């Protein structure tokens, strides 16, 4: 018996045991999970919510129903919700308001998790991941942080900024506030997260999100070529029994959500995905797209402004896709990308065919534990 098997035997219940049990009732008590049904005696779900639950051996927990939300919003809401604010007419700053708080969230059917969350002004209620900040390169940013939780927290933004805006030593205790002042640079895609020790606990509990800085010219015009559809996907996991291993994996907070609720896109559209990996306890996560190839811009800090085409052209779609794929000398062309924690990339693709196409982690265990979705191309 291997050392890992010995460890799992001592635990009694491993994350793979969660595949067998669907009716474990998980409650919140005193800020910790109370699993009120014995996992060893739990009754499996009798019927999956959708025939597609069996695709790639999807686990019998199925997916959370569309009516279930993460802190008041669904992952579909999060997908295209960019937290932007106008410049203050007096200071010229873009002022973002953030709060950390405790929030029970649904991470799979009948499974709740006692999360620590970031939120912005309504409708950006507390959820995991936190709101997607968005501004332009060179913007003066004021991030006003309030700690509404019962634990100390900070906000650490990746990118270039002064030391007093780094979110490491600016720890705020319950009820305290802090103003992070910085100039948004460089352009690209960045994560943010709490940096209070132990960092892995604060990330595993849900304190993270994405920060997009758009490239602009001297007139303030965004120079990254426009996309027909833009969406944010944050890869994450949930350790619901606090044993240092994830029992569920997801995109944007609910296991298999996009399997029951496919993302609608169209043939010929330029689709841009802002992909961030904030998975704790696993060294890497991955993204695989079926039936398509994407251009890959790691960190989002490079792009080819000339890699465009006339969308009114009468040329066959096949030629348009070929031109789009191979014209850009800066981007990789792939259908799988692996990212370590904190790594991110911008993915762009143009669907050529109609139909349902899977996207999922290319680690089978992650797929079985909830990291799967569908694009419905029309």
Which CATH number covers residue 322? Answer: 2.60.40.420
In whole angstroms, give the CA distance from residue 207 to residue 211: 13
Instruction: Output the pTM of the full model.
Output: 0.81
- Helices and strands (H, E) in the chain, number of each type: 6, 22
Domain membership of residue 224 (yes or no) is no
3-state helix, strand, coil in the chain (%, to 5): 15, 35, 50
Percent of the chain beyond pLDDT 90?
67
Confidence of residue 65 (pLDDT cuts 50, 70, 90): very low
In whole angstroms, give the CA distance from residue 47 to residue 50: 8
pLDDT tens column, 95-127:
999 999 999 999 998 899 999 999 988 777 888
Which pLDDT score is estimated for 313?
Answer: 47
Asked whether residue 372 falls in the same domain as residue 278, the answer is yes
The SS3 of residue 223 is coil
Asked whether residue 37 falls in the same domain as residue 103, the answer is no
Asked whether residue 242 falls in the same domain as residue 172, the answer is no
Asked whether residue 258 falls in the same domain as residue 335, the answer is yes
The SS3 of residue 17 is helix
What is the rounded average pLDDT for all residues in the chain? 82
Q: 372 has which bridge partners?
A: 360
Asked whether residue 135 falls in the same domain as residue 28, the answer is no
Q: Are the C-beta atoms of 270 and 350 separated by less than 8 Å?
A: yes
Q: Are strands 140-147 and 93-108 parallel, antiparallel or unpaired?
A: parallel
Domain membership of residue 270 (yes or no) is yes
Whether residue 9 is predicted with pLDDT greater than 80 in this model: the reply is: no
pLDDT tens column, 151-200:
999 999 999 999 999 999 999 999 999 999 999 999 999 999 999 999 99
Asked whether residue 185 falls in the same domain as residue 110, the answer is yes
Its domain, for residue 252, covers 229-377
Give me the half-sphere count of Cα atoms (radius 13 Å) on the Cβ side of residue 370: 30
Domain membership of residue 220 (yes or no) is no
Confidence of residue 30 (pLDDT cuts 50, 70, 90): very low
- Start-to-end CA distance of the chain, whole Å, equals 50
Residues 247-251: what's their mean pLDDT?
97
pLDDT tens column, 270-302:
999 999 999 999 999 999 999 999 999 998 887
Our count of domains for the chain comes to 3
Give me the half-sphere count of Cα atoms (radius 13 Å) on the Cβ side of residue 184: 26
Residues 295-315: what's their mean pLDDT?
64
In whole angstroms, give the CA distance from residue 375 to residue 81: 18
């Amino acid at each position: 018996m291997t050392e890992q098997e010995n460890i799992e035997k001592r635990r009694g219940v491993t994350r793979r045991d969660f595949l067998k049990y669907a009716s474990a009732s998980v409650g919140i008590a005193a800020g910790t999970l109370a699993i009120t049904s014995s996992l060893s005696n739990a009754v499996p779900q009798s019927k999956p919510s959708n025939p597609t639950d069996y695709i790639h051996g999807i686990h019998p927990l199925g997916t959370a129903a569309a009516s279930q939300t993460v802190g008041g919003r669904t992952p579909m809401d999060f997908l295209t919700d960019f937290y932007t604010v106008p410049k203050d007419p007096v200071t010229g700053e873009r002022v973002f308001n953030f709060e950390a708080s405790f929030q029970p969230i649904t991470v799979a059917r009948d499974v709740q998790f006692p999360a620590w969350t970031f939120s912005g002004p309504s409708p950006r209620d507390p959820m995991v991941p936190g709101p997607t900040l968005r501004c332009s390169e060179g913007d003066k940013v004021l991030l006003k942080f309030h700690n509404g939780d019962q634990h100390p927290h900070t906000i650490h933004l990746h990118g270039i900024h002064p030391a007093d805006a780094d979110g490491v030593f600016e720890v705020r205790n319950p009820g305290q506030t802090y103003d992070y002042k910085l100039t948004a640079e460089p352009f690209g895609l960045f994560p943010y997260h709490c940096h209070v020790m132990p960092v892995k606990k604060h990330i595993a509990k849900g304190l993270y999100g994405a920060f997009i800085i758009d490239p602009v010219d001297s007139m303030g015009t965004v120079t990254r070529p426009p996309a027909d559809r833009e969406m944010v996907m944050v890869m994450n996991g949930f350790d619901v029994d606090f044993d240092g291993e994830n029992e569920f994996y997801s995109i944007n907070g609910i296991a298999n959500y996009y399997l029951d609720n496919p993302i609608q896109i169209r043939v010929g559209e330029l689709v841009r995905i802002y992909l961030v990996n904030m998975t704790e306890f696993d060294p890497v996560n991955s993204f695989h797209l079926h039936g398509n190839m994407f251009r890959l811009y790691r960190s989002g800090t490079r792009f080819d402004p000339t890699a465009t085409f006339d969308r009114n052209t009468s040329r066959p779609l096949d030629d348009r896709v070929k031109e789009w794929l191979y014209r850009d000398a800066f981007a990789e062309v792939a259908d799988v990308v692996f990212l370590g924690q904190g790594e991110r990339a911008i993915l762009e693709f143009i669907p050529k065919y109609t139909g349902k196409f899977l996207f999922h982690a290319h680690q089978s265990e992650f797929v079985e534990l909830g990291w799967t979705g569908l694009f419905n191309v029309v």
